[in-house]
C-alpha cells in the first residue's frame, strides 16, 4: 500500500506540475515579480521620468528667494521619495523662460508683492502641476507670507525664527512591556503582514481549487470505482492531501526563488548603472533588512519560525482535508464550487482580521480568533510579530491547529469513504451525518 500511496502522490503532483496553466502562471509571476522589484528601471526604460528632477525657475520680485529656498528644501527633503527638485533663482524674463520649459518637466514661479495679500505668486508650467509639487509650492509660499508679515510688524529675527519653527515634541512611553523601538516595530510588522498573508491566502485558494478539481475529475469519469477497488479510501484521501500540500509548498518555494531572482536582477542592474540609480533606492533592501533587524522583529520571527511553519503546514492540511471531503460529496466541479463557498468565506474572514490586526491592537477578539484553526494561520503569526501575543501563545495556537487537523482527518475520512462512491444528491446531508457516526 505504501508503494501505491507514493505512486498516487507522485502522479497527482506530476499531473499538477505538467499542466499548461502551472507553467504559464509561473512564467507570468516571475515576470511580474521582476517587474515590480525593478519598477523604476522599467519606467526609465520606457522613457518615464522616475529619476528626472523637476526644475523650478524662481522669478523673484519680492526679494523672498532665500526664505523660499529654505522653506521649500526643508519640505521637499521630508518627502524625498516622492520626487526631486532643483531650484534656480533667475533674472530671465517670463517669456524667455516659457520657451525654455516647453516639453520639459519644469515650472516657472513668479513671486511678487501685493498691497492686499502681501505676497502673490504666478506658476507657469508646460503640463499641469503634480499635486505634491503644488502642495510644496503652496506651503513654502505661505511660510514666506507669514515671515513677511512678521518682519513688518517690528518683531526681531530671533523671535520670528522661534515663532515660525515647529513645536518640538519629545516622546516618552511608560509601558514597560514595550520595546525601545516599538513604533518602528509596528511599521515593520505591518509590512510583514502583507508579505506573509497575501501569498498564503493565494496558495490556500489554489490548494482548495486543485483538490476539488482532481477528486471531481476522478468521480465524474467513474475512475474512482477502479481506483478505490485497488487502494483504500484512506490511502487515496491521504494521497490527495499530501500531494496538494506538497504542491503549494513547492509553489511557495518557487515564489521565494522568484523573489531572489528578482532581487538579483535588481542588484545586477544597479551595479551596471552605478551613478544613475539613486542611493536611497539601491540601498532599499539593506535598509529594510536593517530596520527589520533593529526593531527586533527578526528575532521574533526567528524564534517563532518553526511554529509559524508548523501552523502553516497544519492549516494547509486542514484546508486540504475539508476541500477533499467537500469534493467527495459532489459529482461535478460546479457543485463543488458552490459547496466550497463557506470555506472561502472563512479564509476571507481570516484574511481581513489579519490585515486589520495592527489597527485593533491588543483586542481580545483578535486574540481569540488567533486560536481558531483555519483562521489562526493568518492571524496568530501576525499578532505574534506585532507583539500582541507571546511565543507560548503562538505554540498553543499551533498545537490546537494540529489537533483539530487530526480530528478533521479522522472524521473527514468517514465522510470521504461514503462520499466518493455516492453519485446522488438525494439525502446527501443525511448520508453525510450518518457516515460521521459510523466507524
Interface contacts to another protein, rule CB under 8 A: 1, 3-4, 7-8, 11, 15, 217-218, 221-232, 421, 434
Shortest CB 417 distance to another protein, Å: 10
* Complex with another protein: residue 277 or 327, whichever CB lies closer: 327
Shortest CB 436 distance to another protein, Å: 15
* Complex with another protein: residue 215 or 366, whichever CB lies closer: 215
Shortest CB 226 distance to another protein, Å: 5
Shortest CB 7 distance to another protein, Å: 5
Q: Computed over its alpha carbons, how large is the radius of gyration of the chain?
A: 31
Rounded to whole angstroms, the Cα distance separating 28 from 11 reads 25
* Complex with another protein: residue 116 or 438, whichever CB lies closer: 438
Residues 6+ apart with CB under 8 A from 310: 398, 402
* Complex with another protein: residue 227 or 396, whichever CB lies closer: 227
* Complex with another protein: residue 230 or 286, whichever CB lies closer: 230
Shortest CB 203 distance to another protein, Å: 23
* Complex with another protein: residue 179 or 217, whichever CB lies closer: 217
Shortest CB 427 distance to another protein, Å: 8
Rounded to whole angstroms, the Cα distance separating 109 from 136 reads 12
Closest CA to 238 of 413, 98, 118, 99: 413
* Complex with another protein: residue 14 or 104, whichever CB lies closer: 14
Shortest CB 201 distance to another protein, Å: 28
CA angle 377, 382, 387 (to 5 degrees): 135
**CA-to-CA separations, 78 to 136, 137, 290, 337, in angstroms, rounded:** 11, 14, 21, 50
* Complex with another protein: residue 267 or 434, whichever CB lies closer: 434
* Complex with another protein: residue 64 or 420, whichever CB lies closer: 420
Q: Are 101 and 107 in contact (CB under 8 A)?
A: yes
* Complex with another protein: residue 7 or 410, whichever CB lies closer: 7
* Complex with another protein: residue 6 or 303, whichever CB lies closer: 6
Rounded to whole angstroms, the Cα distance separating 40 from 27 reads 21
Cα end-to-end span (Å), the chain: 21
Shortest CB 256 distance to another protein, Å: 30
Residues 6+ apart with CB under 8 A from 9: 239, 242, 243, 246
Rounded to whole angstroms, the Cα distance separating 361 from 339 reads 34
* Complex with another protein: residue 15 or 70, whichever CB lies closer: 15
Residue at grid coordinates 504666478: 122
Shortest CB 414 distance to another protein, Å: 13
Shortest CB 230 distance to another protein, Å: 4
Residues 6+ apart with CB under 8 A from 60: 68, 89, 111
Shortest CB 421 distance to another protein, Å: 6
Shortest CB 303 distance to another protein, Å: 45
Q: Are 43 and 269 in contact (CB under 8 A)?
A: no
Amino acid at each position: 500500500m505504501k508503494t501505491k500511496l507514493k505512486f498516487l502522490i507522485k502522479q497527482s503532483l506530476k499531473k499538477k506540475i505538467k499542466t499548461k496553466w502551472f507553467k504559464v502562471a509561473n512564467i507570468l509571476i516571475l515576470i511580474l515579480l521582476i517587474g515590480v522589484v525593478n519598477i523604476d528601471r522599467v519606467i526609465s526604460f520606457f522613457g518615464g521620468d522616475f529619476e528626472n528632477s523637476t526644475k523650478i525657475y524662481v522669478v523673484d520680485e519680492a526679494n523672498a528667494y532665500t526664505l523660499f529656498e529654505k522653506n521649500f528644501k526643508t519640505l521637499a527633503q521630508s518627502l524625498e521619495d516622492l520626487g526631486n527638485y532643483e531650484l534656480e533663482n533667475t533674472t530671465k524674463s517670463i517669456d524667455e523662460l516659457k520657451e525654455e520649459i516647453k516639453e520639459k518637466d519644469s515650472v516657472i514661479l513668479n513671486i511678487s508683492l501685493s498691497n492686499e495679500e502681501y505676497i502673490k505668486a504666478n506658476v507657469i508650467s508646460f503640463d499641469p502641476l503634480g499635486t505634491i509639487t503644488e502642495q510644496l509650492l503652496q506651503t513654502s509660499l505661505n511660510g514666506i507670507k507669514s515671515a513677511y508679515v512678521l518682519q513688518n510688524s517690528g518683531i526681531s529675527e530671533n523671535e520670528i525664527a522661534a515663532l515660525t519653527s515647529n513645536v518640538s515634541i519629545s516622546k516618552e512611553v511608560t509601558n514597560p512591556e514595550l520595546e525601545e523601538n516599538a513604533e518602528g516595530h509596528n511599521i515593520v510588522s505591518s509590512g510583514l503582514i502583507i508579505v506573509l498573508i497575501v501569498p498564503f491566502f493565494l496558495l490556500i485558494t489554489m490548494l482548495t481549487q486543485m483538490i476539488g478539481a482532481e477528486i471531481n475529475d476522478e468521480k465524474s469519469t467513474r475512475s474512482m470505482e477502479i481506483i478505490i477497488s485497488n487502494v483504500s479510501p484512506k490511502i487515496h484521501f491521504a494521497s490527495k492531501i499530501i500531494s496538494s500540500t506538497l504542491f503549494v509548498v513547492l509553489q511557495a518555494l518557487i515564489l521565494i526563488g522568484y523573489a531572489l531572482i528578482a532581487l538579483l536582477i535588481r542588484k545586477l542592474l544597479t551595479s551596471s548603472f552605478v551613478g544613475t540609480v539613486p542611493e536611497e533606492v539601491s540601498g532599499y533592501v539593506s535598509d529594510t533588512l536593517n530596520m527589520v533587524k533593529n526593531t527586533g522583529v527578526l528575532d521574533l520571527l526567528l524564534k517563532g519560525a518553526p511554529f509559524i511553519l508548523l501552523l502553516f503546514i497544519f492549516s494547509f492540511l486542514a484546508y486540504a482535508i475539508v476541500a477533499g471531503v467537500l469534493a467527495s460529496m459532489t459529482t461535478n466541479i460546479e457543485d463543488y464550487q458552490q459547496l466550497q463557498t463557506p470555506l472561502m468565506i472563512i479564509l476571507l474572514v481570516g484574511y481581513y482580521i489579519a490585515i486589520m490586526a495592527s489597527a485593533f491592537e491588543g483586542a481580545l477578539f483578535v486574540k481569540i480568533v488567533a486560536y481558531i484553526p483555519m483562521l489562526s494561520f493568518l492571524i496568530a503569526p501576525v499578532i505574534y510579530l506585532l507583539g500582541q501575543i507571546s511565543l507560548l501563545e503562538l505554540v498553543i495556537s499551533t498545537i490546537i491547529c494540529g489537533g483539530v487537523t487530526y480530528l478533521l482527518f479522522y472524521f473527514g475520512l468517514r465522510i470521504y469513504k461514503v462520499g466518493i462512491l455516492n453519485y446522488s444528491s438525494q439525502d446527501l446531508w443525511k448520508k453525510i451525518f450518518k457516515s460521521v457516526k459510523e466507524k
